[in-house]
Amino acid sequence: MISFWDSIGKPVFVLTGDLHNSFAIKITDRVWEFASGPHNSTNHRLIEEANRPTSGPYESRGRECEIRWSTFVPNEAEGRKRRPVYTVVQVNNTFRVPGGLGAGQGPPSDDIWAAYDVPQVTFQYYDGLTGDLLYAESILAAPRD
């Protein structure tokens, strides 16, 4: 599936959940995996995930990928505390131009929507207890041919 998605020529995002860690992984230049969780439990210790790196290059099933960011519990930590994480996905592909083409050229209901030449998708990870932003990743779609 990864080879097929990569051949599409545009960014492909795989969204997963119900895991005990959140992460952003760049699998290829065009294929990304984003996991959001846990929502109501604890993170896993690194040893429970084969001591994977917290970020950086990582080989998964023979494929080199890059962990851009992840949550985890250090192996030496005593006990585990609940740390829910939630993710907001925002697609930035248009913006509103109030009043249409300019002042005096129509009522406010004449707003128009202008499209970006290269849309952007942003994944924002937040601490579910404090609301603090933990990490954000922004990806641009490939320019139109």
**How far is the CA of 144 from the CAs of 20, 117, 138, 141, in angstroms?**
38, 8, 18, 9
Task: Give the pLDDT score at 40.
Answer: 77
Q: What is the pTM of this model?
A: 0.82
Instruction: Name the 3-class secondary structure at 80.
Output: coil
Task: Give the pLDDT score at 100.
Answer: 60
**How far is the CA of 64 from the CAs of 60, 69, 72, 81, in angstroms?**
6, 16, 21, 32
Q: What's the CA gap between 70 and 68, in Å, rounded?
A: 7
**Phi and psi dihedrals of 121, rounded to 5?**
-120, 130
Task: Give the pLDDT score at 104.
Answer: 58
In tens digits, what is the pLDDT along the chain, a chain of 145 residues?
999 999 998 899 999 987 788 999 999 999 999 999 877 778 888 888 888 999 999 998 899 999 999 998 888 988 777 788 999 999 999 888 877 655 555 555 678 888 988 899 999 999 988 999 999 999 998 755 5
Task: Give the pLDDT score at 103.
Answer: 57
Q: What's the CA gap between 20 and 63, in Å, rounded?
A: 22
Task: Give the pLDDT score at 77.
Answer: 86
What ranges do the domains of the chain cover?
A: 2-140
Q: Strand pairing partners for 99?
A: none
* In the block, residue with structure tokens 């004449």: 110
